[in-house]
Structure 1
Amino acid sequence: MTNNRLLASAWLPGVELFHADFSGQAFGRHSHDAFAIGAILSGVGGYQCRGARHAIPAGHLSLMNPEEAHTGHAESERLVYRMLYVEESRLPALLGRKRLPRGFAELTPCDDGAVAAGLARVASELENQDGLSLESELLDLLELVFVRHGGLRALPAAGRDSGVIRRLRDYLEAHCTEAISLEAMAAQMQRHPRHLIEAFRQAYGVPPHTYLLQRRIREAKRMLLKGQSLVDVALGLGFYDQAHFSGAFRRFTGVTPGRFQRSVRT
């Protein structure tokens, strides 16, 4: 049985996420030209790397540096994991550092659930193709992993930078129906994305992409009350498709947009 998926986005060249769900499949000796960040969700994974055989149970990570040769297989009858691949050349810009992290010393550290949850959020945004949310979740995940396991020093807490943050809020309000990239947003504010995300979170309690979604949902309610169709509302507010809109609406309101519209009109 095999139910594998490889997710990628034009928003983020050099970044891929492999969702593996298989039994009986084995990968021959190979390497990747990217850092590999994985979490075992179910079963036990295994591979040969650095001259030793490794068994990785659920609750553990699988971390690899670029060009590290390894095999891959399932130690259990069924294996489910997520693996993020990020090309080495993309890291300085994504992490906001001039130098690369020194890399992963330990291949299979235990995870407290934070990395697995971060991978799940990145996978969800890759499915949704929401550029700003995807980039924001990716940056949060990379910062977490490389500070914990890659020898990267944590950035100092972002200052208030209140003038820039007010301008960013106004920018999000003015462009709330558009596909905004984190790179374009950072260029507009002349700040690195990590700084913007943390400073905005300190000021408003949520990161920019969540603020933008909340703004879209508020506008969606007004449009639905006017009797506009779900498809028109979804596309008019910049959602990838109706399913993406419905999921976001339910996340913030607790009900689907269709149920909200019906309950108000009856």
Structure 2
Amino acid sequence: MDGNRLQARPWLPGVELFHADFSGQPFGRHSHDAFAVGAILQGVGGYQCRGGRHALPAGTLSLMNPEEPHTGHAVSPRLVYRMLYVEESRLPALLGRKQLPRGFLELNPADDGSVAAGLARLAVEFERGDALALESELLEVLERVFVLHGGLRAAALSPRDGGMTAFLRDYLEENFAEAVSLDQLASLVHRHPRHLIEAFRRVYGVPPHTYLLQRRVREAKRLLLGDQSPLDVALALGFYDQAHFSSTFKRFTGVTPGHFRRVART
């Protein structure tokens, strides 16, 4: 059980992400007061639920509704999975829908890889604590899994913009070094976060948190050409730590900040 981790943030109530890595540890019959969205990453899991026994190999999702009793155990010598828990009362605010999901009918559908990948990105953002990125990844995972498996109708996007996306872009350009949350952006334009993300993506090709990272990398290049070290630049631009800065810089440029600084200054 030493490989298990439970991630949560105080400013994101009712949402937890559990990373399980264990063998031989059974879970007795229990339930959760939340929707559970899990992805089996390695091995085979098993449980009893809805009057039947179920085996979940890697590549399978584990989907449960609130207060649904079940057991749990590892069928294989080692079992690794991620499980997102979201309290039912939080869904209206998170999804921004009048029509809410009816719940999961199928317990363990196959995953095309998108939900597991979304949970992996979510785990990274839980560690970093970047509110804008974490909330954006959470909404994307919830929207995808409830549309695919929870009876939620895909959102119809309004073509109206009214200058909202341009306003948000200008705001991000001016406040790129600040900690920005999705709720903060939504309050500026009086839109639900989900509508905001999709409208911004439609116009600029990327969601707001990606645009913000791109802007920080652009500024980082300018600062690295001066006398500031990569660590100083990382702290000045609001990155979680130097490793986060380095991985983000390489993601958009193909090289590390140190490499860019050395080559550019020779």
Using the size of structure 2 for normalisation, the TM-score is: 0.96
Unmatched 5+ stretches in structure 2: none
User: For the residues of structure 1 that align with 2:10 and 2:220, how far apart are their CA atoms?
Assistant: 27
Task: Say what the alpha-carbon RMSD is for the aligned residues.
Answer: 1.3
SS of residue matched to 1:19: strand
Please list, as runs of the form range in 1=range in 2, the aligned pairs for 1:45-84 lying within 5 A after superposition. 45-84=45-84
User: For the residues of structure 2 that align with 1:160 and 1:232, how far apart are their CA atoms?
Assistant: 41
AA aligned opposite 1:60: T
- Which consecutive segments of 4 or more residues in structure 1 shift more than 2 A? none
User: For the residues of structure 2 that align with 1:116 and 1:263, how far apart are their CA atoms?
Assistant: 38
Unmatched 5+ stretches in structure 1: none
Q: Which deviations, in whole Å up to 9, do the C-alpha atoms of 1:90-122 show, x marking residues without a partner?
A: 111110113431110110011111111111111
1:9 is aligned to 9
User: For the residues of structure 1 that align with 2:78 and 2:85, how far apart are their CA atoms?
Assistant: 22
User: For the residues of structure 1 that align with 2:227 and 2:28, how far apart are their CA atoms?
Assistant: 56
1:158–1:198 Cα contact (<8 Å) kept: no
2:167 is aligned to 167
1:224–1:261 Cα contact (<8 Å) kept: yes
TM-aligned CA deviation for residue 154 of structure 1: 1.0
1:136 is aligned to 136
User: For the residues of structure 1 that align with 2:165 and 2:60, how far apart are their CA atoms?
Assistant: 38
1:126–1:134 Cα contact (<8 Å) kept: yes
User: For the residues of structure 1 that align with 2:25 and 2:182, how far apart are their CA atoms?
Assistant: 38
Is 2:223 aligned against 1:229?
no
User: For the residues of structure 2 that align with 1:32 and 1:246, how far apart are their CA atoms?
Assistant: 38
Using the size of structure 1 for normalisation, the TM-score is: 0.96
2:99–2:152 Cα contact (<8 Å) kept: no
Please list, as runs of the form range in 1=range in 2, the aligned pairs for 1:93-242 lying within 5 A after superposition. 93-242=93-242
TM-aligned CA deviation for residue 162 of structure 1: 4.7
2:36–2:86 Cα contact (<8 Å) kept: yes
1:26 is aligned to 26
2:40–2:60 Cα contact (<8 Å) kept: yes
Gap change, CA 1:138 and 1:158, over 3 Å in 2 = farther
Percent identical among aligned pairs is 74
SS of residue matched to 1:255: coil
1:261 is aligned to 261
AA aligned opposite 2:14: G
| Higher deviation after alignment, 93-102 or 128-137 | 93-102
User: For the residues of structure 2 that align with 1:185 and 1:93, how far apart are their CA atoms?
Assistant: 15
User: For the residues of structure 1 that align with 2:7 and 2:246, how far apart are their CA atoms?
Assistant: 21
SS of residue matched to 2:163: helix
User: For the residues of structure 2 that align with 1:143 and 1:61, how far apart are their CA atoms?
Assistant: 15
User: For the residues of structure 2 that align with 1:159 and 1:110, how far apart are their CA atoms?
Assistant: 34
1:14–1:86 Cα contact (<8 Å) kept: yes
